[in-house]
């Protein structure tokens, strides 16, 4: 799976080199687009202990680099920060504890346009899972691990604003295979064609 992390950036660089060499003074607009988005997400609580102390409403940040030819399919790479859930336990006591679990996806993306402005996408790859525990009695402890089989699906709407800018929104579901964490978010996106 580590070869996947090396393979995607190499593939992107090959596409970029090909586009740079092939461009003429009257060349078509670039086929590469950068997207960034932010929005709320909801965690589907699967915890057995302390389930009633979980804050399920959090936020997600998404960054995406896409190769978008004139056809219906696009491919790219996605990363960001997905705050899965927070827990506050034992408030006001000597055992007060605050837990934050988050995921940083490192995933490939395939997007298909269905209509002029509507699209669907599928992401698959790895994620870095972050766990931060702050306790009044023991201080702060941080841990991280890899989740090797994560994926997501999204349905979105985007509209061109001028020749280089895009605005849109997407409904995005995420699943982490390591601990069976699931959430769904509403992400407001902006894009810039390079």
Domain harbouring 59, CATH code: 2.40.160.20
pLDDT tier for residue 22 given thresholds of 50, 70 and 90? very low
**pTM check: above 0.85:** no
pLDDT of 8 over the 60 cut: no
Distance between CA atoms of 157 and 170, rounded to whole angstroms? 6
In the numeric block, the tokens 């959430």 are attached to: 183
pLDDT of 151 over the 80 cut: yes
pLDDT, tens digit, for every residue of 34-80? Answer: 999 999 999 998 777 767 788 999 999 999 999 998 888 999 999 99
DSSP-assigned letter for residue 27: P
pLDDT of 21 over the 50 cut: no
In the numeric block, the tokens 């302390």 are attached to: 50
Per the CB < 8 A criterion, the answer to whether 155 and 122 are in contact is no
Beta-carbon contacts of residue 168 (< 8 Å; ≥ 6 apart): 117, 156, 157, 158, 159, 188, 189, 190, 191
Answer with the residue of higher pLDDT: 109 or 20: 109
- Mean pLDDT of the residues in the chain: 85
What is the SS3 string spanning 17-31? HHHHHHCCCCCCCCC
pLDDT of 16 over the 80 cut: no
Answer with the residue of higher pLDDT: 47 or 2: 47
E strands of 8-138, at which residues?
A: 32-43, 54-55, 57-67, 73-89, 97-113, 118-135
Q: Residue 107: exposed, middle, or buried by beta-carbon count in 10 A (0-12, 13-18, 19+)?
A: buried
pLDDT, tens digit, for every residue of 77-109? Answer: 999 999 999 998 877 677 788 999 999 999 999
Domain count, the chain: 1
Percent of the chain with pLDDT over 90: 62
Q: Is the dihedral of CA 9, 12, 14, 20 positive or negative?
A: negative
Q: Is the dihedral of CA 137, 59, 183, 151 positive or negative?
A: negative
Angle, alpha carbons 189-191-192 (nearest 5°): 165
pLDDT tier for residue 28 given thresholds of 50, 70 and 90? low
Residue numbers of the domain that contains 91: 2-193
Distance between CA atoms of 194 and 181, rounded to whole angstroms? 35
Percent of the chain with pLDDT over 70: 84
Distance between CA atoms of 79 and 72, rounded to whole angstroms? 22
pLDDT tier for residue 138 given thresholds of 50, 70 and 90? confident
Per the CB < 8 A criterion, the answer to whether 187 and 37 are in contact is yes
Answer with the residue of higher pLDDT: 181 or 39: 39
């Amino acid at each position: 799976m580590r070869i996947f992390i090396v393979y995607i950036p190499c593939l992107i660089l090959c596409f970029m080199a090909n586009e740079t060499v092939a461009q003429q003074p009257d060349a078509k607009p670039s086929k590469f687009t950068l997207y960034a988005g932010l929005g709320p997400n909801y965690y589907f609580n699967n915890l057995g202990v302390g389930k009633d102390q979980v804050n399920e409403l959090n936020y997600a940040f998404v960054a995406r680099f896409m190769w978008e030819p004139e056809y219906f399919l696009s491919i790219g790479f996605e990363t960001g920060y997905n705050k899965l859930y927070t827990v506050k336990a034992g408030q006001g006591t000597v055992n007060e504890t605050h837990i934050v679990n988050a995921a940083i996806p490192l995933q490939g993306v395939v997007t298909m346009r269905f209509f002029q402005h509507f699209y669907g996408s599928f992401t698959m790859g790895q994620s870095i899972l972050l766990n931060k525990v702050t306790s009044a009695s023991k201080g702060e402890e941080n841990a991280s691990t890899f989740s090797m089989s994560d994926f997501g699906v999204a349905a979105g709407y985007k509209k061109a604003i001028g020749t280089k800018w895009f605005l849109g929104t997407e409904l995005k579901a995420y699943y982490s295979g390591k601990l069976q964490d699931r959430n769904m978010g509403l992400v407001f996106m902006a894009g810039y064609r390079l």
